[in-house]
Structure 1
């Protein structure tokens, strides 16, 4: 191979995540590239930009992975974005979705083909469909739960409409369009055939052509055909039939009128139930079975993304599916337009390790072919491309043999790691998208010593005691019962089939096996295990043993041998003498179990328990453990050291499109952990002031105490930083209304997405409106406004420290769109609101100009006095990323050394050094600010705050350091046998410090 760096990944310095949709496309992204570069960003990190369902705001409901989303922009606009990125020396990390596709749009041709041609469709193996499901009526059919009511009611209201275009019949249901199986069209064409014969005569050419078409339809092979030749015949002949029928419809007025009248007949007359018999009979002959969307919870026979009916899981483990779903991705990599990939929902894959290996191999191959093309000065094709591909694949095999951990392309995986869990070492990725760091750094700003006080005030307010592990257990079971019972039932039948093979296990009943599976998944301590063909890893064995033991203990009335059997299967502990075929069946079951446990955990914990256990909601974050009240400094340092050793190029995130609250909202709510007494008193006042604003629903006041408690924390976290206009405050109130409606539905206590309690929700929203009435007589608003001065102020300091830690800890900092200023967003879709990039560009330009005119020190002091506008955070990012870019090797390869802090304020500082050779930087991030300030308007600066608190330097030599934020020089000072830096000097003019040794 030519001596080129194609086998070395492009590693980002810092990434910036943008969300593509119809209102923010390629052209919009191109306009902000220079701004991002000036800010210090090296790589644009983009949400999926492939063709998605029309109107998609997130891009994860892809309908064609091999076309760009026209709502996001054209090919030319995409090329212009790439050109601008290249001009600025930046890369593009693209989010890809290998696990599922959107199926509610007729633009998904693969799914439409499956709905028309069933199990014999060329795309039948693309999707994870059970063609012989538990419900026998669905054999060789696909449940299509798109209806808003029971099938019969929808049919007889005339909402299902038969249509005809381009020689083919289809069914319309509002925005849905489904194909009518070509062979079944005979029922439409032969209805009232005698009337057509009387009108035209039996020997009329058009009549004869229609009969000939009908004969061809009747002779088409059925959708259950498995003979490849017969399948090919059906696909060929049905297209011929459609062309003939379309031509006949177009040229013959009599035939056109006949078909149109038959369509009208089939579409029936509302109020006349029998008039829909024709359409009902036609729909019974289709591959799909229409149903109310609620039926999907029990009878669904295609694997979904979580419990979303409109997202069907792909079988990307199938080589053909892998190849077809990655054609465009690989082309963009070959053309050098995509420099990194973020892989969505790894836990949904059948074999994540194998998929990631195939993906890395494909990236290596495409980049290698690009090098060969550059060397040849032309595109490769035919024999030359085949020869180059074979050569590269041989090189790949040899390289993997020498370096099993070889990672030639920058891949990161969307994987949620829970407490103590590590990414599987065999995965060829540079780590995760950073959820674990978000929880790690957030925990630093929670006062751990106040856990019991917070337990007491929470229990007192809601008049109940809550235990998070118990809630998580119950909510996972609720999800398996309410929204994913179909998947559980299917898995239970698979386990039952396994039990029937052996005489020692065949007596286990289906119900006992399903119950055992539910209990084991409910107690599973992680999202999933990763057992594969190589067997069960020790880590996964421990997780299974833990879940089995807890399930046994929880269910003393259940025969323990049922759980023992589940354990044996999950650990692939086959009975002596079992045939190899049986091992394959067990392994397939385990992999399907693994694909299910992750979604159940996500829905049960993230999307349910996190809305029920509200003690301190800043801890209720994806991958977090809300029962842990904060994090000791030692744990933070320890995990940073470990990351620097094992995954120094992992992404570090503090906000993502999946987080439940923006980083600055969490920073404010964390302040409550420092002031439990003040918060307790405020809660008592607020409850008293707002008691009469509640409405009784079914004899109970709405909202309930737990929801009211959540609402107060939410208001503390999101209260506008500056006085709002009437229009702005109206928009704020609407955001809170939307959030609380979502929260109460996610909690599934007083309402839910499946069965919304409209009366309760209206009472809840009325309560929000009354709380947020903006008039002088609203005593609650006045009290809240006074209370949140401290939380808002200290929350800003928390945010600055957190952002600095993200930019300097081992790993690569990632910024979510808009978070470079104060971002008080809540969970999606609130965090996908438009970002005012024009304002941010102006602020950044002004900062550069002011620095030149006035100097760093004066600018830093001014920003501290005007914190409310967020420029101080923008400035912090600009300065720190500038140093990171200039000292890239230090931050990527340098050691991490926690620094000792001595003095009365030692608990209020997180400090460490990064070293590489002779270079060194020191990071000083204060925390727990309420005890540092005499009044909220103060800044935590200078001698009065920090007194004699100091950093102890490991080396005994005199050193001098330049503060990146102020430009000031601080010398180390002797203190006995030590050299120290005084915090009163380091933090004299700016709330945090980043020091470079000079």
Structure 2
């Protein structure tokens, strides 16, 4: 198998193409990564900046340079002994603006379309107006208003010979069955040629056997338009123009006959009858579980793998699929079938496959999936929690409760967010799952009186309390792991439901794979209806978890934002060293080739933002005092959001229960804003530079708008409160205005200076841990230097690879300590660790993981472990929780060696008497006669060390 030593994630789009990546391939090779890890490469929506809105699975995106440019990049990478991993999107496609041929096909022909079974559409909606139709919630206002305003029109495309309904950039093809009536809407005496064309369409039906005849008629129509132009068709369009009552009614009747139903976008949550990606109305789920769909989606990556162009796949949003287990196993089988076709120099190598999967604490990725692991959110959670001091939890929890006016835990915030999302965003998905169970209930006399409403009520509570993303039943029955999670959901639902609903809860429990089917023979497999019901429930809980937790509760609960990260649970404040070791040992045992990451294209805050904010857990009382002081200082700058504000209210006051104060941004949002300013403040930002501060404020304002809308409290994406948003933005720009240079700005810069060195130590520690822990380290583009990015689009800004290349040197990182703020010290740590992985790949990919005991006065401030393969060792040592150890007189991120006192680590016995050298500095520490290595001798030049023996690059 081609196991990557390390990967570097690149975000491709028309501004950064394959050829742009090719221009920097020498830098990537010199840095030491073994594989480039590319965002989706299939054809996406024009102008897409991420590639997750695929419109054509069969072709490499021409905006990226197409397949020729991909081949150039692949050849250049392979020439430097590097490979390519690509991100694929098997769950959904982009459907906006008429670019997706598959989607246009079902809009045109309905459930008889060639691609009707490719999308997860409920053609049997309980709403008679939607039966056999696709709900199209794209209108900016109610249908009748938009029609009367003339914004819905009929158009004719001469190049395609087709009529379509148009709304803004959206196109909806008219079914050719209606062409005779369309063409005859003009008197034959005026345009007899249209009557002749209409005759070609007479008698057409939507049945597939008429499709060839329909195409011939369309070809004739296109040929006529090519010869005579569009003038003859203008009369048809005029007959359906929306600017007059009679023609508008004619247009309305035409639209009502189509296989789509145009609707106001606000109706989507309640009425959409096709599965979306989360609640995004421009991304439609595809039925990858069907073999013909699977083959169509994967033909390109399978061919590229067989040709040796790519070496592995990253599977996006695997939890959206009907059966992730079956999907992963099928994909592995298909890849294995193509191994023999690989070029001889690749030696029939097996593909590297990882999945994007959020794992809760204690949740295990099923080994039987046949994949190499996840994309690393679990490690990002572990290492992030490791940086936090548990001693600060109580004070920060109390402070957050005081300023937010609520003592709710993060779990409470999550439950409330789940209820809101189910009611307002995923109502139609919940309805569909409830209907599936209602049909099952109607089949038995004992359950026939369980109403749809009662079943929906029960499902709501189960989904609210479901502790992980989803369950993975086998043949319709819950696994042991599923059962443990479902029991937890049942307990929550039982407490929240009225006693009268408990019988329905028991029925739902059994029907979702928890018991034998009533009336079925012993040992009989569950019916198709029960298997479908379990799938529908899983496809509710997965998007619910993402939307309610990551995209809602994370923006409401702000005890310490460094824990509000994808894959993390903010309710888990800190992780001890022993627990971190245990997680690494578990990964080494079960998925030694899983990715380990600390930054991604989806992160909420850059890895160095989180590392700096973690320092606040060490100085909780000082931070709380600072928070209150800033609140008082900036209180006069607050704006009323819609009505006069209570005078003088500040975060130092204890808010009374009830409605939030009517000023923007409000106490909780203001507290999170201060954390964001502290965390994202770049090392080189001068608070006296008005232009630089303004540019910084614009970045923060973009985050602030997204954060407030995601929180869905004062404003939201669906119902923006422009007054609140404007007032919040004005507050931000006021507190960062040049006239605050000697006030808040100076205070802010001074506090960042107070914690920045400890934050840098955290950053270097998490960087080294990622590069040396079990798994395949993933490097997100540009994070070789300090990463103070925020949520997208901020974390997808252009990267200056030329600067990175110029700054890549072979000297030890310790030589960059004096100018550590420019980030070269971090680049050096990355480079040295990746170089060691290249020199000794088996040591890190196959080697064992050995936690090392830290002893002495400062033991809680360090972490150490060994990697061993055969007779080779690497010793990893890092500083943690450094704020209390930092000398005020120093300007570098380094604990005074004397401060370590007697703190030491116990080396493996096999290293007794063997000379060790630090890859990161000139240090060559020696253990004493008992095998103890004192940190005062190791951490003299950097806060981290990577000790090895001879034969590897060192100072």
TM range (shorter): over 0.9
Distance 1:192 1:889 in 2: 77
Distance 1:658 1:373 in 2: 35
Q: Is the 8 A contact 1:26 1:73 kept in 2?
A: yes
Matched residue SS, 1:530? coil
User: Which of 76, 97, 102 is residue 94 of structure 2 equivalent to?
Assistant: 102
Q: Does residue 742 of structure 1 match 2:706?
A: yes
Distance 1:534 1:525 in 2: 20
How many Å apart are 1:212 and its aligned residue? 3.8
Q: Is the 8 A contact 2:164 2:174 kept in 1?
A: yes
2:242 corresponding residue in structure 1: 268
Q: Does residue 967 of structure 1 match 2:919?
A: no
2:878 corresponding residue in structure 1: 925
User: Which of 671, 674, 681 is residue 719 of structure 1 equivalent to?
Assistant: 681
User: Which of 738, 742, 748 is residue 784 of structure 1 equivalent to?
Assistant: 748
Distance 2:473 2:373 in 1: 19
1:895 corresponding residue in structure 2: 848
Distance 1:236 1:829 in 2: 46
Q: Does residue 990 of structure 1 match 2:942?
A: yes
Matched residue SS, 1:656? coil
Q: Is the 8 A contact 2:438 2:455 kept in 1?
A: yes
Q: 1:669 to 1:252 in 2, by over 3 A?
A: closer
**What per-residue deviation string (whole Å, max 9, x for no partner) do you get for residues 439-492 of structure 1?**
101111100122111112222233332211111111111111001101111111
Structure 1: stretches of 5+ with no match in the other structure: 1-8, 201-206, 226-230, 376-391, 393-406
1:84 corresponding residue in structure 2: 76
Q: Does residue 179 of structure 1 match 2:178?
A: no
1:603 corresponding residue in structure 2: 547
Q: 1:446 to 1:218 in 2, by over 3 A?
A: same
How many Å apart are 1:262 and its aligned residue? 2.4
1:304-703 matched pairs, under 5 angstroms: 304-370=276-342, 408-533=350-475, 535-578=477-520, 583-699=527-643, 700-703=662-665
**What per-residue deviation string (whole Å, max 9, x for no partner) do you get for residues 176-199 of structure 1?**
122111111223211131xx41x4
1:277 corresponding residue in structure 2: 249
2:657 corresponding residue in structure 1: none
1:250-261 matched pairs, under 5 angstroms: 250-252=226-228, 257-261=231-235
How many Å apart are 1:362 and its aligned residue? 1.2
Q: 1:728 to 1:563 in 2, by over 3 A?
A: same
- Once the two structures are overlaid, the 10-residue window that deviates more, 929-938 or 660-669, is 929-938
Distance 2:501 2:834 in 1: 60
Q: Is the 8 A contact 2:431 2:456 kept in 1?
A: yes
Q: Does residue 213 of structure 1 match 2:194?
A: no
User: Which of 888, 898, 907 is residue 953 of structure 1 equivalent to?
Assistant: 907
Q: Is the 8 A contact 1:462 1:709 kept in 2?
A: no
The normalised TM-score by structure 2 is 0.94
Distance 2:477 2:278 in 1: 26
Matched residue SS, 2:369? coil
User: Which of 152, 155, 162 is residue 154 of structure 2 equivalent to?
Assistant: 162
Q: 1:370 to 1:887 in 2, by over 3 A?
A: closer
Q: Is the 8 A contact 1:496 1:510 kept in 2?
A: yes
Q: Does residue 192 of structure 1 match 2:164?
A: no
How many Å apart are 1:947 and its aligned residue? 2.1
How many Å apart are 1:500 and its aligned residue? 0.5
Distance 1:682 1:582 in 2: 60
Q: Is the 8 A contact 1:942 1:989 kept in 2?
A: no
Matched residue SS, 1:480? helix
How many Å apart are 1:592 and its aligned residue? 1.6
Q: 1:916 to 1:777 in 2, by over 3 A?
A: closer
Distance 1:744 1:243 in 2: 52
Q: Is the 8 A contact 1:545 1:567 kept in 2?
A: no
1:803 corresponding residue in structure 2: 767
Q: Does residue 872 of structure 1 match 2:825?
A: yes
Task: Kindly report the root-mean-square deviation, in angstroms, between the aligned alpha carbons of the 2 structures.
Answer: 1.9
Matched residue SS, 1:525? coil
2:646 corresponding residue in structure 1: none
Q: 1:861 to 1:368 in 2, by over 3 A?
A: closer
Distance 1:426 1:727 in 2: 55
Q: Is the 8 A contact 2:186 2:235 kept in 1?
A: no
**What per-residue deviation string (whole Å, max 9, x for no partner) do you get for residues 23-70 of structure 1?**
111011111211111111000001001100011111000000111111
Q: Does residue 751 of structure 1 match 2:715?
A: yes
Q: 1:264 to 1:942 in 2, by over 3 A?
A: same
**What per-residue deviation string (whole Å, max 9, x for no partner) do you get for residues 87-135 of structure 1?**
1110100000000100114231111111101101110000000001121
2:733 corresponding residue in structure 1: 769
Matched residue SS, 1:220? coil
**What per-residue deviation string (whole Å, max 9, x for no partner) do you get for residues 707-738 of structure 1?**
00110000010012113554433221111111
Distance 1:372 1:336 in 2: 9
Q: Is the 8 A contact 2:923 2:940 kept in 1?
A: no
Distance 1:175 1:581 in 2: 48
How many Å apart are 1:824 and its aligned residue? 0.5
Matched residue SS, 2:635? helix
Q: Is the 8 A contact 1:454 1:676 kept in 2?
A: yes
Distance 2:219 2:869 in 1: 71
Matched residue SS, 2:135? strand
Matched residue SS, 1:290? strand
Matched residue SS, 1:532? coil
The normalised TM-score by structure 1 is 0.90
2:214 corresponding residue in structure 1: 238
1:404 corresponding residue in structure 2: none
- Once the two structures are overlaid, the 10-residue window that deviates more, 796-805 or 558-567, is 558-567
**What per-residue deviation string (whole Å, max 9, x for no partner) do you get for residues 341-384 of structure 1?**
00011100111111111111111112223469999xxxxxxxxx
Distance 1:710 1:558 in 2: 42
Matched residue SS, 1:16? strand
2:115 corresponding residue in structure 1: 123
1:979 corresponding residue in structure 2: 931
**What per-residue deviation string (whole Å, max 9, x for no partner) do you get for residues 576-596 of structure 1?**
432769622101110121122
Structure 2: stretches of 5+ with no match in the other structure: 644-661, 951-955
Matched residue SS, 1:533? coil
How many Å apart are 1:79 and its aligned residue? 1.6
Distance 2:314 2:481 in 1: 25
Q: Is the 8 A contact 2:475 2:525 kept in 1?
A: no
How many Å apart are 1:885 and its aligned residue? 1.2
Matched residue SS, 1:682? helix
